[in-house]
Amino acid sequence: MKRSMISFDWAMKRLLRNKANFEVLEGFLSELLRRKIIINHTGESEGTPTDKDDKTNRVDILVEADEKEIIIVELQFDSVAEYFHRMLFKAPPQPSPIGREFTPFGGIKGGGYFINIVHFGLDGDDYVYHGFTNFKGLHTKNELQLTAAQQKLYSKKVVGEIYPEYYIISVRGLNDVAKDSLDEWIYYLKNNRIEDHFTAQGLDKAKEVLLFDNLTPEEQEAYLRDIDAKLLNDSAITTAQLEGEIRGEAKGEHKKAVASALKMLEDGMSIEIICKYTGLTHEQITEIQQENQ
């Protein structure tokens, strides 16, 4: 049996920031990072609160996990050309003995994780990608180490470990066959459904917390309002795209008509005949004639 659930983006905005529901997000992060994650705090991760698409296109959440790790989880719905630049801009802030006030939580050690869940296709043959920064000698190929003092400060051994690690999950890439527990989570992210035989960490709690029927009447009303707003926004985008295509087609047809009119004028045809076969008006053809004399 497949259970219909609310969307993960709405849950991130409204439910998963509640400590009582941390188990859901902990389960997802534990499956992705392949180790047990315990969440201490959650908060906003809006580095660019004036972005026009923040409310309609993107949602993110910042997590402080055990061992003082920062994890940012971001969902992106519409493909944008500069998406990978945005990933760099939105990466977890780095700790600094001088500038700790700029970090969301004090005393953070290590570079943290930036997890990107995208609802558009990527130009690759996988649907989960992992990236990180490392520094290796050009000649020795050995990794750059931290000094003893730096190791004490960051609780890390090599320089690359103090920079963020990146994950990109393209949910469209899953063929709806869950081969492991992480795939079970991606199946839910893609389809808003959880099958009864799924056993991934956090999904049992998700079945309880994220089932529409288990929301309060106020939450159900808010969820339906958000769904309506998203559908309206998607409809507006589709309408604008269609109007753009229509304008483009009309412009192309007009160019063809002008080109045909020029050829007919060169062949000595009358303006009346040209009007008949191109659909252009007498005034338009006269203007074309004058411009090309």
Q: What one-letter code names the amino acid at 172?
A: R
* Calpha distance 34→242 (Å, rounded): 44
| pLDDT score at 243 | 62
Angle 271-278/282-291 helices, nearest 10 degrees? Answer: 110
Tokens of 206: 């998700």
Tell me if the pTM is above 0.95: no
DSSP the chain: -EEEB--HHHHHHHTTTSGGGHHHHHHHHHHHHTS---EEEEE---S-TT-TTHHHHEEEEEEEEGGGEEEEEEEE-S--TTHHHHHHHHSPPPP-SS-GGGSSSTT--S--EEEEEESS--SSS-SEEEE----B-TTT-PBPBPPHHHHHHHS-SBGGGGSPEEEEEEGGG--S---SHHHHHHHHHHHSEEETT---TTHHHHHHHSBGGGS-HHHHHHHHHHHHHHHHHHHHHHHHHHHHHHHHHHHHHHHHHHHHHHHHHHTT--HHHHHHHH---HHHHHHHHHHT-
What mean pLDDT value characterizes the chain? 80
Residue from 103, 118, 213, 209 nearest 162 by CA: 103
pLDDT at 95: 47
pLDDT at 115: 93
**Cα dist. 161→110, 112, 114, 164, 171 in Å?**
6, 9, 14, 8, 27
Distance CA 28, CA 245 (A): 41
pLDDT at position 181 is 97
Provide the residue ranges of all domains of the chain, joining segments of one domain with +. 2-215, 230-291
Q: Which residues of the chain have pLDDT under 70?
A: 1-4, 44-58, 67, 78-81, 90-110, 230-250, 293
pLDDT of 67: 66
Range 230-291: architecture per CATH: Orthogonal Bundle (1.10)
Query: Who's near 114: CB < 8 A, 6+ residues apart?
Result: 71, 72, 74, 87, 90, 91, 92, 164, 165, 166, 167
**Residue 236 and residue 197: Cα distance in Å, rounded?**
39
